[in-house]
């Protein structure tokens, strides 16, 4: 890509594209939001890295505490992956337990401790390069209360980590009441409950999914919108757990997380003005309204073409389910998480690009910068693409 502004970007050949990748979900306010860019430029002119704490870091942390219901304290990292890694380390340190439980299909970045069971068949490492010894301390379970109860029963699990929105930002919705139940079970067993809100944080509401459902985790991993399109992440949550980071050298309970770019000043500058713009909830509401309209219109295209499936999702996201009848909740995890399959997915992607629209693996993030014109172009591109996919025998 050459440039981007608002809901659109332009490639090196000059094609104009309606973007639903939106910085992999980081850009709730659209590309190159004027206030964010100005804050970055101003801070870059002041200093890039002063090698010491600065006021921006405190202001950024105060914004997180003000917005995220469970946040008593905050510690910044350089990415969402690192936030998940740090949350797990804090949980292991506090409980003295080695094991981690995670849910099948849920993604928590590329860190070795959680790179298991993300994709079908959900029973092994997600990548080459993971030593078998690491797997011994990670148990992957289905998103079912009974499975959680069973795995926590022995009292040797340090943390249960999950995407609070459901796997892949709601592509695989969680069962109703599940978060309430895991909160109860983790409290009973002394297990640290970690919500990964790297995507859902500040998007589902100013306080993320936890604000919407009213369930407070012990720790929350944040990223993406937190840093307004710059690299950044954070762990927030219970002060007694985060307090391990502030213990003196030599204290065996001390948790360390050295990192050159933790709380990077330029990311802090972008994050502060982003969080200011999303604090009232109006930004989330307006993006969510547009996404709901887009989901309805994309589903209507499928109906008109006689193709089973629909566009679904929550908040300002959408996911395309093609070739399946019924609600996503009624489908097995392996089918939902397998997505559209490689051929259909790439043909759909190319078809939409021909219409000047970029999807994100059959899904998308809507921002406050999107408008009716973008939606119209998207629906038109979809209506032109679906018959081609049908003619190719892919639908």
Ligand X SMILES: Cc1ncc(COP(=O)(O)O)c(C=O)c1O
Which residues make up the interface to ligand X (CB under 6 A)?
A: 24, 79-81, 84, 107-109, 163, 196, 198-199, 223, 233
% helix, strand, coil for the chain, step of 5: 45, 15, 40
Name every residue whose Cβ is closer than 8 Å to that of residue 116 and which is 6 or more positions away in sequence. Answer: 102, 124, 125, 126, 130, 135, 138, 140
- Cβ closest to ligand X, residue 199 vs residue 336: 199
In whole angstroms, the minimum distance from the beta carbon of 115 to ligand X comes to: 11
In whole angstroms, the minimum distance from the beta carbon of 196 to ligand X comes to: 5
- Cβ closest to ligand X, residue 223 vs residue 229: 223
- Closest residue by beta carbon to ligand X: 80
- Cβ closest to ligand X, residue 105 vs residue 309: 105
In whole angstroms, the minimum distance from the beta carbon of 22 to ligand X comes to: 12
Q: Token digits for 264?
A: 């990077």
- Cβ closest to ligand X, residue 100 vs residue 302: 100
In whole angstroms, the minimum distance from the beta carbon of 80 to ligand X comes to: 2
- Cβ closest to ligand X, residue 230 vs residue 386: 230
**From CA 18, how far away is CA 16, in angstroms rounded?**
7
In whole angstroms, the minimum distance from the beta carbon of 337 to ligand X comes to: 13
In whole angstroms, the minimum distance from the beta carbon of 250 to ligand X comes to: 31
- Cβ closest to ligand X, residue 24 vs residue 361: 24
User: Could you tell me if 287 and 370 are in contact, meaning their C-beta atoms sit under 8 angstroms apart?
Assistant: yes
Distant-in-sequence contacts of 245-248, Cβ < 8 A, 24+ apart: 245/75, 245/90
**From CA 18, how far away is CA 102, in angstroms rounded?**
35
User: Could you tell me if 352 and 18 are in contact, meaning their C-beta atoms sit under 8 angstroms apart?
Assistant: no
- Cβ closest to ligand X, residue 221 vs residue 255: 221
Cis peptide before 285 (omega within 30 of 0): no
In whole angstroms, the minimum distance from the beta carbon of 79 to ligand X comes to: 4
In whole angstroms, the minimum distance from the beta carbon of 155 to ligand X comes to: 27
Of 184, 223, 310, 296, which Cα lies nearest the Cα of 26?
Answer: 223
Q: Token digits for 324?
A: 């399946």
Vertex 214 angle, CA 208 and 220, to 5°: 45
- Cβ closest to ligand X, residue 163 vs residue 218: 163
Of 279, 269, 169, 159, which Cα lies nearest the Cα of 220?
Answer: 159
């Amino acid at each position: 890509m050459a440039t981007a502004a608002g809901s659109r970007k332009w490639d090196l050949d000059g094609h104009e594209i309606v973007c639903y990748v939106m910085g992999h979900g980081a850009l709730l306010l659209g590309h190159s939001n004027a206030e964010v860019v100005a804050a970055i430029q101003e801070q870059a002119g002041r200093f890039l890295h002063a090698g010491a704490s600065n006021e921006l870091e405190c202001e950024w942390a105060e914004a997180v505490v003000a917005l995220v219901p469970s946040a008593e304290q905050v510690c910044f990292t350089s990415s969402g992956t690192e936030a998940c890694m740090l949350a797990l380390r804090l949980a292991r340190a506090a409980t003295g337990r080695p094991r981690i439980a995670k849910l099948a299909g849920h993604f928590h970045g590329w860190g070795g401790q959680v790179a298991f069971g993300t994709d079908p068949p959900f029973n092994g490492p997600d990548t080459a390069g993971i030593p078998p010894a690491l797997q011994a301390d990670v148990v992957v379970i289905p998103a079912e209360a009974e499975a959680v109860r069973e795995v926590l029963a022995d009292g040797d699990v340090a943390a249960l980590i999950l995407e609070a929105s459901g796997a892949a930002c709601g592509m695989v919705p969680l069962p109703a009441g599940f978060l309430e139940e895991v909160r109860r079970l983790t409290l009973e067993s002394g297990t640290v409950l970690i919500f990964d809100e790297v995507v859902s944080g500040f998007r589902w509401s100013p306080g993320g999914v936890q604000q919407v459902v009213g369930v407070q985790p012990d720790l929350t991993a944040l990223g993406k919108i937190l840093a307004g399109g710059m690299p950044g992440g954070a762990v927030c949550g219970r002060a007694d757990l985060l307090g391990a980071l502030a213990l003196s050298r030599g204290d065996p309970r001390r948790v360390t997380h050295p990192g050159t770019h933790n709380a990077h000043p330029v990311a802090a500058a972008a994050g502060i003005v982003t969080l200011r713009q999303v604090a009232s909830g109006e930004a989330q509401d307006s993006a969510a309204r547009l996404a709901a309209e887009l989901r309805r219109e994309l589903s209507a295209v499928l109906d008109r073409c006689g193709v089973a499936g629909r566009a679904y999702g929550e908040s300002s996201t959408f996911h395309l389910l093609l070739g399946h009848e019924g609600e996503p909740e009624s489908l097995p995890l392996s089918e939902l998480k397998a997505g559209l399959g490689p051929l259909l997915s790439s043909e759909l992607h190319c078809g939409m690009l021909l219409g000047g629209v970029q999807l994100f693996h059959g899904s998308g993030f809507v921002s406050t910068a999107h408008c009716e014109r973008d939606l119209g172009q998207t629906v038109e591109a979809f209506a032109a693409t679906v018959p081609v996919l049908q003619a190719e025998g892919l639908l």
